[in-house]
Structure 1
Amino acid sequence: MRAPRFVALGDSLTEGVGDPVGDGWRGWAALLADGLRAGDVDFTNLAVSGAQTRDVLERQLPAGLALQPDVVSVVVGVNDTLRCTFDVHAVAARLDTIYAAFRAQGAVLLTACLPDPGTMLGLPGALARPLARRQRAVNAVVHALSERYGAVHLHAAEGSWTTERAMWSSDRLHPSERGHRQLAVRFHELLAARGIATGGAPSVEPELPVPTKSASLWWLATAGTGWVARRCTDLLPQLVTLAVDEMRHRARGTSGRLDLRAAHAVSMALVALSVQERPAEAA
């Protein structure tokens, strides 16, 4: 009997950025893998920093399917919100295809909703709110599709962990070692409740010191600015337009219209998917 096979797909969060080990990253998925079963677990991390849903669909999905995992995690979407090409309809269609493909193979699917990057970076309200609205839209899609495909879904977008300084690395966007351990422990709890994780839970205590506030400020003053610029180069002009629109609506007291518009886009994206027959649904 072969060892359980766990494959992780996604972006820098799943790659492990913020949890350094040696010359590379470890992260929540590797920590979780150790607790899936006492003994050997065949773990492969296909996640790549900067990946969007398109990258997962076109590059990581074929490699993941070829490995025929027993457990697969798909945590992605934040990078989509940082692009001027953001389209919740496209995000929903890609995630639907990815989830369905793994469920058709019989894999246990792990998903998560995530905090919005604008709030985590501490951007001004007019800039942060459009990004938050986009992340809420992605989370709503992930929630709905996770339910459709019977995924083990982690609600990680809210809660005390999002504001607890020790949970986040110096860049304020990626979890620290403690934050990665928190994600691993919470996923382990969900899997153990279903009888899927039978190994010991990951430790919540970090091996390295918590990043200091001065380290965070230094990162923001040096590498942080460049990181944001690289991620948001094509978004910035559109984000300025969105911010102006945000301020105009707030001045008129009509900000609710922007929320309704976003909610309608999510509804239409899910309605478009609901008319399609999926193997996993028919099973």
Structure 2
Amino acid sequence: MPPGCPPTAPPPVTRFVALGDSLSEGVGDRVGEGWRGWAALLAAGLRPAGEGLAFTNLSVSGAQSRDVAEDQLPEALALRPQLASVVVGVNDTLRRTFDIGLLARRLDRVCAELTAAGTVLLTACLPDPGLMLGLPAPLARPLARRQRAVNAVVHALSIRYGAVHLHLDAPAWTDDRSLWSADRLHPGERGHRAIAAAFHRLLHARGLADGAPPSPDPEQPAPTRSDALLWLATAGTAWVVRRCGDLLPQLLLLAAAEVRHSATGTRARLDARAEHALTRALTATMRE
């Protein structure tokens, strides 16, 4: 650029694609018979009155990093988006097959291929599911280690690829229960609106959002304690059963290890083992 010339404004975003799991699918923000969610709310504010914007939500409830890399990424690349959100990882932590090295390689490939295609990325660190569900410490600690590792990978990749990044694991998000739905794992309407507004502010600062920011005011009443108890007694039970068939046997073994190491004063070994696996994953990924 010649000296004295003002920086060129980025072209307007006309194609936005969301990749991920139930968070980006919109679970917790019901509109009619379906879900809306933060990505759709953000899309409406990327252009004045949403004009000239094509938004595609490829996110699927239950998706893991493998699903995003193998199924959603090819569809996203075919759409040639200027903006793409990649928010995934919690479902990986809830599986007995959890492998932080595999997750890091998959997410690195997703971010690399989208960035190479000229796409600006949106990413987020996510809350620890054990904390959000209020699980007992022996059950919560293994999940917390896994989620910290996932967040460390996402944070490193966000820096590497210049992503627009949100720390949704911060206390400002996790401690405000008005942002979360009855299931305590997905944002409610207020939470989805807050996520959309936070991303909008960051994108506006980059010159990538010139529409009106999403309103923070929900259209539906926040879930009550009775709603939460009803969810736990009905849909919540089904959710636990689905997850338990895959995760619970291993999680019980992990919890037993927590109790044993706590009793012998050697719990630091578990933390060190997790840190070693994370370091190997980050080192291998950043070397590529």
5+ residue gaps in structure 2?
A: 1-10
Match of 1:258 in 2: 270
Spell out, residue by residue over 1:30-73, the C-alpha distance to the aligned partner (whole angstroms, 9 max, x if none). Answer: 00001111123210000000000001111100000000001000
Q: Scaled by the length of structure 1, what TM-score is found? A: 0.95
Match of 1:280 in 2: none
Match of 1:15 in 2: 25
Aligned partners of 2:197 and 2:214 also within 8 Å: yes
Structure-2 change in CA distance of 1:2 and 1:178 (3 Å): closer
Distance in 1, matches of 2:278 and 2:12, equals 41
Aligned partners of 2:13 and 2:208 also within 8 Å: no
Residues 1-283 of structure 1 mapped to structure 2, 5 A cutoff: 4-38=14-48, 39-276=51-288
Greater Cα offset, 58-67 or 185-194: 185-194
Distance in 1, matches of 2:207 and 2:263, equals 53
Aligned partners of 1:5 and 1:41 also within 8 Å: yes
Spell out, residue by residue over 1:228-263, the C-alpha distance to the aligned partner (whole angstroms, 9 max, x if none). Answer: 221231111100000011111222222222222111
Distance in 2, matches of 1:190 and 1:2, equals 15
Aligned partners of 1:28 and 1:184 also within 8 Å: yes
Aligned partners of 1:10 and 1:47 also within 8 Å: yes
Distance in 2, matches of 1:168 and 1:274, equals 34
- State the secondary structure of the residue aligned to 2:185: coil
Q: Scaled by the length of structure 2, what TM-score is found? A: 0.93
CA RMSD of aligned residues (A): 1.3
- State the secondary structure of the residue aligned to 2:234: helix
- State the secondary structure of the residue aligned to 1:269: helix
Identity %: 67
Distance in 2, matches of 1:57 and 1:266, equals 20
Aligned partners of 1:3 and 1:42 also within 8 Å: no
5+ residue gaps in structure 1?
A: 277-283
- State the secondary structure of the residue aligned to 2:27: coil
Q: Name the aligned partner's letter for residue 221 of structure 1.
A: A
Shift of 1:163: 2.1
Distance in 2, matches of 1:2 and 1:80, equals 34
Q: Name the aligned partner's letter for residue 111 of structure 2.
A: Y
Structure-2 change in CA distance of 1:189 and 1:3 (3 Å): closer
Aligned partners of 1:6 and 1:42 also within 8 Å: yes
Shift of 1:123: 1.1
> In the comparison of the two structures, how many residue pairs are matched?
276
Q: Name the aligned partner's letter for residue 206 of structure 1.
A: P
Shift of 1:3: 6.3
